[in-house]
Copies of this chain bind each other. A is one copy, B any other.
Amino acid sequence: MPAAEKVSIRKLGILAGGGLLPIQLAQECQQQGIEVFIIGFEGQTSPELKKTYLHLWTGLGAAGSIFKALREHGIKDVVLAGSIRRPWLSELRPDMKGMEILTRIGLGTLGDDGLLTLLKKEFEKEGFTIHGVHDFAQNLLVKEGVLTRLKPSDADWKTITKGLEVSQKLGELDIGQSVIVQEGRILGVEAAEGTDRLIARCAELQKRGKGAILVKTCKPQQDRSLDLPTIGPETAKKAGEAGFSGIVIQAGAALILDPQTVAEIADKYNMFVLGTSLETSKQQN
């Protein structure tokens, strides 16, 4: 989005999923003088946000109430921030508008990616504009390069390239974004369990030798104004405790929360944290 266009946004709706991202985004917006309205979801969004910001707490299916609340607050621009777990019927709590959308689209065979794309379309149909998190928090976007004291070795680069390839193929299938590789061997692949649990189980699957590497990339077909892959201090801590040797995230297509703390934690565990594009990785081998 051009800076000029962004400057004109004075009010932003944040559809807030889980994790720290919505909190950091809201803080960034506040610093930029943008007024924030939070749409939060029971069991997903951090209740912290209720304390500081105007908000509506509801179910993902309450489309009518969400649109109404945003309009009442004069909001035209919306960001989806944080992982929005795929809802199950029991959690949806649809209102009339929600029912209309649900019966129109169905939910059965959609992947996570398809679901977010649909969400975006429904908002656009109602006249809202969906922006990317990085339009308001450029500093969270992963940059090319090593954040840590430790740098990947030539052998690491082989493992990293394999991880990037597999991660991209899993992304194509809309299964998940993360892969854990040790010495060229795929220890685990993320689906519904999320990155933290993936790390925990792969900790045990490692064999002696150099620790595994977590590789996280953006699905190739992913609309980048939606759910970008994200790591933060918690990811670094879990990977460090698991004895991993590094974390790799896709430069320009992933978010890193609180990069300085991530680097400090990684240094403590003697781990590298690398931002790389798919092209850079190919050149390394």
- Chain A: residues with CB nearer than 8 A to chain B? 86, 88-90, 108-111, 158, 162, 166, 169-170, 173, 175-176, 183-189, 191-193, 197, 201-202, 205, 207-209
Known: A191-B189, A193-B205, A201-B197. A184 touches B88 (CB 8 A): no
Task: Given A158-B108, A208-B88, check contact A188 B184 (CB 8 Å).
Answer: no
B-chain residues with CB within 8 Å of residue A110 when the two chains form the complex: 184
Q: Which residues of B contact A175 (CB under 8 A)?
A: 166, 186, 189
CB closest residue in chain B, given A207: B88
In the complex, are the beta carbons of B192 and A205 less than 8 A apart?
A: yes
**A90-B208 contact, Cβ under 8 Å, with A158-B109, A186-B175:** yes
Most chain B CB within a 10 A radius of its CB, from A111, A170, A175, A188: A188
| A192 neighbours in B (Cβ, 8 Å) | 185-188, 202, 205
Contacts of A185 in B (CB 8 A): 86, 111, 192
Q: Which of A166, A192, A202 gathers the greatest number of chain B CB atoms within 10 Å? A: A192
- Nearest-neighbour CB distance to chain B for A35, whole angstroms, equals 36
Contacts of A193 in B (CB 8 A): 187-188, 201, 205
Chain B residues whose C-beta falls within 8 Å of the C-beta of A173 in the assembled complex = 166, 169
Distance (whole angstroms) from the CB of A86 to the closest CB of chain B: 7
- Does B90 lie within 8 Å of A184, measured CB to CB? no
Chain B residue numbers with a CB within 8 Å of A208 are: 88, 90
